[in-house]
Structure 1
Amino acid sequence: MVSSIAAIFLLASCAGASLPARQDTGIPPDAVYPGAADPATQAGAKTLESSPPFYPSPWMNPGVLDWEDAYAKAKDFVSQLTLMEKVNLTTGTGWEGEQCVGQAGAIPRLGFRSLCMQDSPVGVRDTDFNSVFSSGQSVAATFDRGLLYARGYAMGSEHKGKGVTVQLGPVSGPLGRTPEGGRNWEGFGPDPYLAGVGMAQTIKGIQDAGVIACAKHFIGYEQEHFRQSGEAQGFGYNITESISSNIDDVTMHELYLWPFADAVRAGVGSVMCSYNQVNNSYACQNSKLLNNLLKDELGFQGFVMSDWEAQHTGVASALAGLDMTMPGDTVFNSGDSFWGTNLTLAVLNGTVPEWRIDDMAMRIMAAYFKVGLTLDEPPINFNSFTLETYGPVHASVGGDIQQVNWHVDVRGDHASVIRNIGARATVLLKNVNNALPLSKPKFVAVIGEDAGPNKFGPNGCSDRGCDNGTLGMGWGSGSANFPYLVTPDSALQSQALADGSVYQSILDNHAASEIEALVSQDNIVAIVFVNADSGEGYISVDGNEGDRNNLTLWNSGDDLIKNVSAQCNNTIVVIHSTGPTLVADWYDSPNITAILWAGVPGQESGNSITDVLYGKVNPAARTPFTWGPTRESYGTDILYTPNNGHGAPQEDFVEGKFIDYRYFDKHNITPIYEFGFGLSYTTFEYSNLVVTCANAGKYTPTTGTTAPAPVFGNNFSTNLSDYLFPNGSFPHIWQFIYPYLNTTDAKAASADPYYGKTAAEFLPPNATDGSPQPLLPAGGAPGGNPELYDVLYTVTASIKNTGKLNGEEVPQLYVSLGGPDDPKLVLRGFDRLSIDAGQTATFSTDILRRDLSNWDPVKQDWFISSYPKTIYVGPSSRNLPLSMPLGQALNQTLGNSTLHNVIDRRHKLSR
């Protein structure tokens, strides 16, 4: 419960009238961008949209802040490499080729161990003696930067202890356009600001632990259906190309690209391009995405790796900005590669310029050195393809049996971190008459399969591809092996026994008569556990091909809740799910006294929920998505049926940037529980909103040109015989991907029927141009133009704990950008404050230039419109007791800024 006090004021320096009306901006006509189009006419998506080319691929900038030392070391290393060693760095060794899910070739001559790429974003995948952490979506619900960082650091430490070089996470693709999206649980939710904070803090944690983080999946990867044509064919769909996510430029910048900008600004070492197409060009060869948006505009200095089998071309993907192919083979275990031998040939024949292969190698090695890795790293001590101590080094081939697993225990004290996050990520959605916290209840009845164990064990289903027992993790490559899974049944029973309570549980959703007989007894509190699962598209669970088929609870969970609450007037519901579920049919029942969303909590699940139910942790988490009354209320859905004949299914993002709460607000739909909502066992009061002008300087669009593309190392031989496989030096491993040629006949060595065409015949203009290139106005540094991150205002408010219990509160800052085509509100700040009973704390957050900006698709730069801006502070997106127009403060900033000295052009053409 939150109340507000009307003690709202603005510092004298910011006092004054609000922004002038649009029709009287006082801005001279020549300040308007020449030829500016109305962004509203360009918003939305178009079927069969095309993606414009952008070449050449931007080369690294060794002078970028925080990358200087890494690039100095990379230059020393790369300058010593031969062409084939550079190719080896960029090309995976093939599926099951070595110990990790992906490995790039080693450079034994310099003592450089193979790079190990390993899932997952919740723990080290396919090994043992590792932890399983809460999902990204769950930790996002904490709204706690410290916990986001702590989770990243702990995960990074475990990957480091196993010998991993690159942890394949964190995730902000999918962002969560559709609530049914199969992998939404891996990311941080559908709000780009929250997702951006989640990305940045997790990346900092992982990389501080000495492992390269990989931000994925770039970009527009918002559903599992049709993400790969071959996978879809396996499910019976007759398509020949992967789905195209058709996204307009404004939506791309203001929604989907936003968290990746935060990832780049945080110094992420690698980015994984996704399976899908964007505007009908595959993401891993889309020059607009990789060259223009990621490497040029966002100033990304690390390397781009493909998702596994997401590469579809050789030279084209190299020139479009791909730096590393994973796992290396065109099709798993085929022994064929778009790169390897073919990349060696492409450099030799000039279709891939020498500066591009050098840039690939430099980016990889700079990311390597940036996180503190050296040329003396300990060996990889696990094998992804067996848990046995002894087995084949090359699982795809067999033979050569030796020790491949050392069973190194990397868990440390991370169980306490996981338990703490799981509890602090639990959202209290309903609590009538202080039903919670529990205090030594007489009789506890726990009902539901989700409270108990998987009868086959916590790892009984490969990659967690089932929904048996309590849901601690979704399924797919984002999973890891549980060292154990504390079930709610076991943890609650231990608590009840300690309290002297009677405790009984029924772990069968369909045992109707037995459940009725138990919960209809007097003096009983019934806790019902239900779930809804999802995961990656290569696994189908109960007909759910990655994406959920609906938003109802699984295993008749909704009926279970209704049946129990019909018999028991003190029914508590706990939901484990990978996203929102439909609760409209039962949430307001007077017999349902409390509802909690416990997300996907990881290995300490039962302990975490017990800590909250019994008040050891006072809940303060906030739902990272909206709970709508119907499936249709979200305005988006999965494309379940191909819609383009046998070609690429076309998914038009016609809703633009209006997803989740933005869509609900735009269409005046009342949610069941709004984004950012969550209750506590105590109460808080908001007051004293203060906005302080930071007097930021003028915004200056970036100008100038780059240096020419650098080339490192000596000139290489063009004699093909110098690149033949060195027979006798070491054995040739079948299916292993090498940089060598097997013949001096270039066409035969390439296995490419089109080999021999000249660059002019198939390469886009400027694709190989290494001359100085113009800098983009919105670029200039990691994350974009550095002045986008200038602080314009500091906002503070007083938060008082008016209850009798110590607790935590999550104040949130929202901004109205004011335009008719803007969301009503967008999240632009938050914090999690610990406040003792009766005490007051200060919420403080900055508003950056970026936070108030819109994207101009004609000028290709950010601008602040002249529409009135209003800030709001409160405990959720629909409970905002404090508000204030920015007023004169923003006018002063507009007067000092070239970027801001423009009128909003969204309706210019109609005036």
Structure 2
Amino acid sequence: MKLGWLELAALTASVASAKELAYSPPYYPSPWMDGQGDWADAHERAVEFVSGLTLAEKVNLTTGSGWEQERCVGETGGIPRLGMWGWCMQDSPLGVRDSDYNSGFPAGVNVAATWDKTLAYLRGKAMGEEHRDKGVDVQLGPVAGPLGKNPDGGRVWEGFAPDPVLTGQMFAETIKGIQDAGVIACAKHYILNEQEHFRQSSEAQGYGYDIDQSVSSNLDDKTMHELYLWPFVDAIRAGVGSVMCSYNQINNSYACSNSYTLNKLLKGELGFQGFVMSDWGAHHSGVGDALAGLDMSMPGDVLLGSPYSYWGTNLTIAVLNGTIPEWRIDDMATRIMAAYYKVGRDQIRTPPNFSSWTRDVYGYEHFIVNENYIKLNERVNVQGDHANVIRKIGSDSMVLLKNNGALPLTHDEKFVAILGEDAGSNPYGANGCSDRGCDDGTLAMGWGSGSANFPYLITPEQAIQNEVIFSSQGKGDVFSVTDNWALDQMAATAAQADVSLVFVNADSGEGYINVDGNEGDRKNMTLWGNGEEVIKTAAENCNNVVVIMHTPNAVLIGDWAHNPNITAILWAGLPGQESGRSLVDVLYGRVNPGGKTPFTWGKSREAYGPPILTEPNNGKGAPQDDFTDGLYIDYRHFDKYDYQPIYEFGYGLSYSSFSFSDLEVTPLNGGSYSATTGMTKKAPVLGKIGQASDYLFPKSIKRITQYLYPYLNSTNLRESSGDPDYGMPSKDYVPAGASDGSPQELLPASGSSGGNPGLFEDLFRITATITNTGKVAGDEVPQLYISLGGKDDPVRQLRAFDRLSIQPGQKIKWSTTLNRRDLSNWDTNSQNWLISKATKKVYVGNSSRKLPLSATLPTVQ
């Protein structure tokens, strides 16, 4: 049933109240894969493969075997007849989680701070290689949800930046790298997963909140397209094989049950050809979610560790009794296998050689039920030379926020003080806290499923001591105080120092871990562990204080940032295992800092917009999180309300200096834009389903306790399901049009790879000259912003960037393009992109507020 936006606009954009809640309109049927574009060969091979499968084998591809039933955090059933073992799905977006002999990469936010697309690709490829060599089929990352609406959101560091263009390009390059290594990337969390509070009702209940539904992120259609959906377009254009639907609801429909966001936006409008996977426990119904566009259930069970599944046997039954049409299960399997072929899994696949549940060499294969004792961990070292790219990202992502001539250090300092717990080691070890769920010692990654085990962690204290004492130029003394409450000792040490290097941090992570009252999301934006007092003590006793911050996003620094005794400030983010080495490369000038802050540093939390929703506001029902800030997050919000930031988005200093000149705008011969028209082909049906008797549990298989199988226990479908209603078809399960496999009308903005192809035609070329006016070589990041000119448009929006290495005195002519999407607004009436008649203006510079060059664009017809 295709309901027009106009018909439902008032409901969709409604604000939650006791009687009226935001509404997500239905959209059916679920679009079937057509293999257009770069997917043609993979689609053809997938169709051939799936055509030879039985119904049970197709179901096995779609359903996880259950929590802790296999080595990976999620595994599907296999197809033993064809020699295919189950698929391995493994976190995380910064390395192989719950493994050993793997690397601990920098977080996504650090990649964004490099503004270097090549580094994003290289990190993705290195992570993909490590997952591949551990036997992983799908790396659960990268992340563009959360985008970063809330600076204090728990998982913002897993993603990139609160700007759709910066995130989209880093997202895409990471995906290309992962998939070039032969592993399927999983773009997550789709969509509007912007806070940890209430993301899962069961988790919230554990924190004492009396709710029975997960939070609903309520958003209008325009903001969805122009902001939150934007990076997923880039992911699809990069060929991503899978997308993970999130825990939250969208306009009061769960993300993995939401036919509008999955069927209409993702598969219909954006032409996504891969498969949609549920987050762990985000699957909420059997028939409903299948028809709404979900293709794979992870980890398969209704509740983690339970013996029940919405799919598995029940999916087999639903197809047999006609509740789910045959073409839908065929499409699910085809999408899954197409992703498999697209990245070349059939060429390089090896079984998993590690266990997510124990580091012991031997243990139970089916860990949760203690069955089948085997060798689990084969201790395969997959690190290669990846420490090099980790170290480079760590140094290239550092943002020099302030420098009054203090940096770089010269090795002439006779006494170097290292102050702050964040400089040193976790007394329990780098991996001493499960999933990095603490803030002890230096901070190099946040906590939760987005983490990985460190093979080692070079702390700032270790690296600086080594630099001062053992380098060829070393001739000074170095002393550390790493107890944040030992202020007297810090004062005494700082008073003797030529330079005091002060280390402070703030942490965040996933909602299932609570660190010092921070339920995933940060409970405030101050520094942790007495950090402000550490800085104050150093600054009162030393007139050359360099502050180094490890944080997932902005913290409030207004009370001390302008103190004259604080001569330099460095933001180092979450730099991974080479943290200390990356830092000393910048401190001592071997690397000229070129990072730019991927978020805004404000004077108060209020300057960023609405706070995180931390109290239920809808009785026991879903808390209603109305995205009243719309398009105006981070720098867009500061610009709209003319708030003065301390350091603006895109800002960062260098040991050199740069100038911008000679802006030129050249119109290109972009074609005219036409709405997509026409019809799809009818849904393909592959193979034959057979009878219930064909799918009885095989006598040749040893049944594992609680394992989720696709087989029937009885030819009586009701009896086999264990649900008196499930065994028979019911109109209550099937929304109007959901079973319709006839040709469907194409959406106006739709296309085979991210939308209507006319959106991606270049309309203008922009060039500018960047000159290194300093005395040392350095990197500069030219940034292009655009004003779309409408009364409801942000003041400026990032549209292009690059990172350039420039020698002293050298001039480089930087060139970029603007395409139709860059200049368009989403029109809710026509459900298409339109270029308004408002005057368009471009700006070029090196931050969102330092834009010395500007030009008005010619009118686009």
Short-chain TM bin: over 0.9
Write the distance in 2 (CA, Å) between the matches of 1:691 and 1:42: 40
2:838 match: 867
Write the distance in 2 (CA, Å) between the matches of 1:691 and 1:841: 17
Which of 508, 516, 519 is the equivalent residue of 2:494?
519
2:415 match: 443
Write the distance in 2 (CA, Å) between the matches of 1:445 and 1:725: 69
Aligned partners of 1:45 and 1:653 also within 8 Å: no
Instruction: Report the Cα offset of residue 752 of structure 1.
Output: 2.5
- Flag the 1:230–1:207 CA change in 2: closer, same or farther, 3 A: same
Instruction: Report the Cα offset of residue 636 of structure 1.
Output: 2.3
* Residue 738 (structure 1) aligned with residue 713 (structure 2): no
2:773 match: 802
Which of 442, 450, 463 is the equivalent residue of 1:470?
442
Aligned partners of 2:407 and 2:588 also within 8 Å: no
Write the distance in 1 (CA, Å) between the matches of 2:30 and 2:88: 26
Which of 852, 856, 861 is the equivalent residue of 1:885?
856
Cα RMSD over matched residues? Answer: 1.6
Q: Spell out the pairing of 1:284-323 with structure 2 (5 A cutoff).
A: 284-323=256-295
Which of 538, 549, 554 is the equivalent residue of 1:564?
538
Write the distance in 2 (CA, Å) between the matches of 1:782 and 1:843: 28
* Residue 579 (structure 1) aligned with residue 553 (structure 2): yes
1:656 match: 630
Write the distance in 2 (CA, Å) between the matches of 1:635 and 1:795: 33
Aligned partners of 2:13 and 2:218 also within 8 Å: no
Instruction: Report the Cα offset of residue 753 of structure 1.
Output: 4.2
2:726 match: 755
Write the distance in 1 (CA, Å) between the matches of 2:533 and 2:233: 44
Instruction: Report the Cα offset of residue 46 of structure 1.
Output: 4.7
Q: Which stretch of the first structure deviates more once superposed, 192-201 or 36-45? A: 36-45
Q: Spell out the pairing of 1:498-577 with structure 2 (5 A cutoff).
A: 498=471, 499-521=474-496, 524-577=498-551
Which of 792, 808, 814 is the equivalent residue of 1:821?
792
Write the distance in 2 (CA, Å) between the matches of 1:278 and 1:38: 15
2:178 match: 206
Aligned partners of 2:678 and 2:745 also within 8 Å: yes
Write the distance in 1 (CA, Å) between the matches of 2:216 and 2:8: 25
* Residue 692 (structure 1) aligned with residue 666 (structure 2): yes
Instruction: Report the Cα offset of residue 700 of structure 1.
Output: 1.2
Instruction: Report the Cα offset of residue 780 of structure 1.
Output: 1.6
Identical-pair percentage: 61
- Flag the 1:42–1:295 CA change in 2: closer, same or farther, 3 A: closer
Write the distance in 1 (CA, Å) between the matches of 2:11 and 2:679: 32
2:737 match: 766
Query: What SS is found at the alignment partner of 1:156?
Result: helix
Amino acid at match of 2:652: G
2:619 match: 645
1:13 match: none
Instruction: Report the Cα offset of residue 447 of structure 1.
Output: 0.3
Cα-to-partner distance string for 1:368-397 (whole Å, 9 max, x where unaligned): 000011177222111111111100000011
1:235 match: 207
Amino acid at match of 1:431: N
2:639 match: 665
Write the distance in 2 (CA, Å) between the matches of 1:46 and 1:668: 29
1:847 match: 818
Aligned partners of 2:322 and 2:729 also within 8 Å: no
Write the distance in 1 (CA, Å) between the matches of 2:137 and 2:244: 15
Write the distance in 1 (CA, Å) between the matches of 2:543 and 2:7: 60
Instruction: Report the Cα offset of residue 566 of structure 1.
Output: 1.1
Cα-to-partner distance string for 1:703-731 (whole Å, 9 max, x where unaligned): 00000000112x2223x23221112x121
Write the distance in 2 (CA, Å) between the matches of 1:486 and 1:363: 42
Cα-to-partner distance string for 1:620-641 (whole Å, 9 max, x where unaligned): 1010000000011111221111
Instruction: Report the Cα offset of residue 288 of structure 1.
Output: 0.1
Aligned partners of 2:271 and 2:751 also within 8 Å: yes
Aligned partners of 1:190 and 1:624 also within 8 Å: yes
Query: What SS is found at the alignment partner of 1:146?
Result: helix
* Structure showing greater relative contact order (alpha-carbon pairs closer than 8 Å, 6 or more residues apart): 1
Instruction: Report the Cα offset of residue 759 of structure 1.
Output: 3.7
1:614 match: 588
- Flag the 1:35–1:363 CA change in 2: closer, same or farther, 3 A: closer
- Flag the 1:44–1:802 CA change in 2: closer, same or farther, 3 A: farther
Amino acid at match of 1:275: Y
Q: Which stretch of the first structure deviates more once superposed, 72-81 or 458-467? A: 72-81
* Residue 263 (structure 1) aligned with residue 235 (structure 2): yes
2:680 match: 706
Instruction: Report the Cα offset of residue 809 of structure 1.
Output: 0.2
1:350 match: 322
Aligned partners of 1:177 and 1:636 also within 8 Å: no
Query: What SS is found at the alignment partner of 1:822?
Result: coil
2:117 match: 145
Write the distance in 1 (CA, Å) between the matches of 2:647 and 2:672: 41
2:76 match: 104
Amino acid at match of 1:595: I
Instruction: Report the Cα offset of residue 40 of structure 1.
Output: 12
Query: What SS is found at the alignment partner of 2:467?
Result: helix
Aligned partners of 1:434 and 1:681 also within 8 Å: no
Write the distance in 2 (CA, Å) between the matches of 1:525 and 1:830: 35
Q: Which stretch of the first structure deviates more once superposed, 822-831 or 373-382? A: 373-382
Instruction: Report the Cα offset of residue 400 of structure 1.
Output: 1.7
Write the distance in 2 (CA, Å) between the matches of 1:430 and 1:44: 44
Write the distance in 1 (CA, Å) between the matches of 2:8 and 2:723: 46
2:808 match: 837
2:599 match: 625
Aligned partners of 2:5 and 2:831 also within 8 Å: no
Write the distance in 2 (CA, Å) between the matches of 1:438 and 1:784: 53
Aligned partners of 1:636 and 1:659 also within 8 Å: no
Query: What SS is found at the alignment partner of 2:366?
Result: coil
2:151 match: 179
TM-score by length of 1: 0.92
- Flag the 1:131–1:44 CA change in 2: closer, same or farther, 3 A: farther
Q: Spell out the pairing of 1:408-447 with structure 2 (5 A cutoff).
A: 408-447=380-419
Instruction: Report the Cα offset of residue 434 of structure 1.
Output: 4.6
Aligned partners of 2:696 and 2:713 also within 8 Å: yes
Aligned partners of 1:492 and 1:606 also within 8 Å: yes
- Flag the 1:253–1:438 CA change in 2: closer, same or farther, 3 A: farther
- Flag the 1:375–1:814 CA change in 2: closer, same or farther, 3 A: closer
Aligned partners of 1:124 and 1:130 also within 8 Å: yes
Query: What SS is found at the alignment partner of 2:405?
Result: helix
Write the distance in 2 (CA, Å) between the matches of 1:369 and 1:602: 32
Query: What SS is found at the alignment partner of 1:400?
Result: strand
Cα-to-partner distance string for 1:425-457 (whole Å, 9 max, x where unaligned): 000000013543444322110000000000000
